[in-house]
């Protein structure tokens, strides 16, 4: 028995080292759905509807785990991103339609990320919004263009750690009603009044640009040449995805809980992230206000990096150009995609409403990303032996149907 344990332990240790080496792609995606757009929808949801919309985060995260795993599967099986696969396997008009919608959705995401960074710099250092946005752009371009991929992963993980720790501390400060929190996590409550915010939350978690990004960044783990190696890579990918998305679920849920415990409890209507920070200080203490601003800045910078990576990769993929940070197109695209955010800031538009609206746009675009992903993952000529099994495919169809039905309900409640 002792000899057997001695022989097994080195193998287990080697396996865990491999798992730890693999962790990263899922966390890049997770930072994307703890972005300032999430902050706006989650704070609004908690402040206006208490804990009623916590179930949206739970459902969205379960959807996300399934969809992101399929995206990673596609990247591992084909060695190509979702954008490249769509361009190669769909007709020109269909590919163009999907490309235009995902670039538009990515631009909406970029608005949220840069605004978050700008507001974070404003809250912490008093910088005007335009300067904070400009600094955020410089930081994201520097990290994307000059850093090696794995160094970038470590930086993103550090930002994610700051956000997570900040909200864990805030949960202890605000003292929520846990007996009301627990059932709201799993019991759906959808009404005409909360559908708009609910769809914003859904789009803020299941983000279409992240689906494209995951299929791209998974290829940095160049461990899968044979079918067996690819299958092992897929197992590691599932561990990475579930771990990272679970952390994202906890942080997003904490945002709603804190907003409900502070703003809903005191009958305060929140219409800006600055107001949320300013109001938090007298109600929950200066430490809570400082942690809010620090976490928002970390979220804005880190998510702007991942959203820009996704956006530029999408643009190059659909144009049939190399997804290479050293090319002029890649560098120029990183700057150009930030222009809508600067325009919104210069025009002094309502940033809080724009943050929420940007997330609703993501939800509306989702079917245009999910349907081609499902088709590609089920095709044997594309995926080989790694194509989606029957249960995964049926669950993905169900997820797509739920999103489409919720979008239709949103349109109905908006028009009638």
pLDDT for the residue numbered 87: 92
Contact 217, 285 (CB under 8 A): no
The domain total for the chain is 1
Contact 256, 53 (CB under 8 A): yes
- Say which residue, 30 or 219, is predicted with more confidence: 30
What is the pLDDT averaged over residues 180-192? 90
Given a cut of 70, whether residue 20 has pLDDT beyond it is no
pLDDT for the residue numbered 208: 85
What is the chain's length? 416
Sole residue written with tokens 């709603």:
256
Q: What is the pLDDT of residues 278-326, one digit of tens each?
A: 766 666 667 777 887 888 888 788 778 777 778 888 888 888 887 777 7
What is the pLDDT averaged over residues 228-237? 74
pLDDT for the residue numbered 277: 72
Q: Percentage helix, strand, coil, to 5, in the chain?
A: 85, 0, 15
What is the pLDDT averaged over residues 386-407? 88
Given a cut of 70, whether residue 13 has pLDDT beyond it is no
**pLDDT-based confidence at residue 55 (cuts at 50, 70, 90):** very high
User: How many helices and strands, by DSSP H and E, does the chain display?
Assistant: 19, 0
pLDDT for the residue numbered 3: 46
State which residues form the domain around 81: 2-415
pLDDT for the residue numbered 8: 54
Give me the percent of the chain exceeding a pLDDT of 70: 86
pLDDT for the residue numbered 286: 75
Average pLDDT, the chain: 80
End-to-end CA separation in angstroms for the chain: 71
pLDDT for the residue numbered 202: 83
Count other C-beta atoms under 10 Å from residue 189's C-beta. Answer: 15
DSSP code for 416: -
What is the pLDDT averaged over residues 219-244? 72
DSSP code for 388: P
With a CB cutoff of 8 Å and minimum separation 6, the contacts of 319 are: 329
What is the pLDDT averaged over residues 332-339? 74
Minimum mean pLDDT among 115-124, 138-147, 239-248, 367-376: which range? 138-147
What is the pLDDT averaged over residues 127-134? 86
Q: What is the pLDDT of residues 189-219, one digit of tens each?
A: 888 888 888 888 887 788 888 888 888 877 7
d(CA 290, CA 298): 12
pLDDT for the residue numbered 1: 42
**pLDDT-based confidence at residue 11 (cuts at 50, 70, 90):** low
Q: What is the CATH number of the domain that holds 78?
A: 1.20.1740.10
Contact 61, 185 (CB under 8 A): no
**pLDDT-based confidence at residue 2 (cuts at 50, 70, 90):** very low
What is the pLDDT averaged over residues 164-175? 82
- Say which residue, 42 or 4, is predicted with more confidence: 42
pLDDT for the residue numbered 150: 55
What is the pLDDT averaged over residues 266-287? 73
Contact 296, 272 (CB under 8 A): no
Q: Measuring CA to CA, which residue among 269, 207, 267, 255 is closest to residue 51?
A: 255
């Amino acid at each position: 028995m002792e000899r057997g344990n001695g022989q097994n332990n080195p193998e287990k240790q080697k396996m865990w080292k491999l798992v730890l080496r693999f962790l990263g792609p899922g966390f890049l995606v997770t930072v994307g759905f703890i972005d300032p757009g999430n902050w706006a929808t989650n704070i609004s949801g908690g402040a206006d509807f208490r804990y009623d919309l916590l179930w949206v985060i739970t459902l969205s995260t379960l959807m996300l785990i399934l969809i992101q795993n399929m995206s990673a599967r596609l990247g591992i099986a084909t060695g190509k991103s979702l954008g490249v696969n769509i361009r190669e396997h769909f007709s020109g008009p269909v590919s163009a339609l999907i490309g235009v919608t995902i670039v538009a959705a990515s631009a909406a995401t970029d608005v949220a990320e840069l605004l978050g960074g700008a507001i974070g710099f404003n809250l912490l250092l008093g910088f005007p919004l335009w300067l904070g946005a400009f600094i955020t752009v410089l930081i994201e371009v520097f990290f994307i263009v000059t850093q090696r991929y794995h160094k970038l992963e470590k930086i993103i993980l550090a930002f994610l750690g700051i956000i997570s720790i900040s909200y864990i501390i805030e949960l202890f400060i605000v003292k929520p009603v846990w007996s009301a929190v627990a059932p709201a996590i799993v019991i759906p409550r959808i009404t005409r009044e909360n559908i708009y915010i609910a769809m914003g939350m859904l789009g803020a978690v299941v983000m279409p640009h992240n689906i494209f990004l995951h299929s791209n960044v998974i290829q940095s783990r160049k461990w899968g040449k044979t079918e067996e190696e690819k299958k092992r890579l897929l197992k590691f990918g599932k561990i990475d995805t579930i771990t990272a998305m679970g952390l994202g679920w906890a942080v997003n849920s904490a945002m709603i809980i804190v907003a409900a415990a502070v703003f809903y409890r005191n009958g305060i209507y929140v219409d800006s992230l600055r107001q949320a920070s300013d109001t938090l200080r007298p109600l929950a203490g200066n430490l809570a206000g400082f942690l809010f601003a620090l976490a928002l800045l970390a979220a804005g910078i880190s998510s702007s990096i991942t959203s820009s990576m996704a956006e530029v990769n999408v643009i190059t993929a659909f144009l049939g150009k190399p997804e290479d940070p050293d090319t002029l197109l890649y560098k120029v695209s990183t700057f150009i995609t930030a222009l809508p955010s600067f325009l919104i800031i210069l025009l002094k538009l309502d940033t809080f409403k724009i943050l929420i609206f940007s997330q609703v746009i993501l939800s509306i675009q989702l079917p245009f990303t999910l349907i081609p992903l499902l088709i590609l993952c089920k095709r044997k000529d594309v995926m080989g032996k790694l194509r989606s099994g029957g249960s995964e495919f049926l669950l993905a169809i169900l997820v797509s149907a739920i999103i489409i039905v919720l979008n239709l309900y949103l349109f109905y409640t908006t028009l009638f």
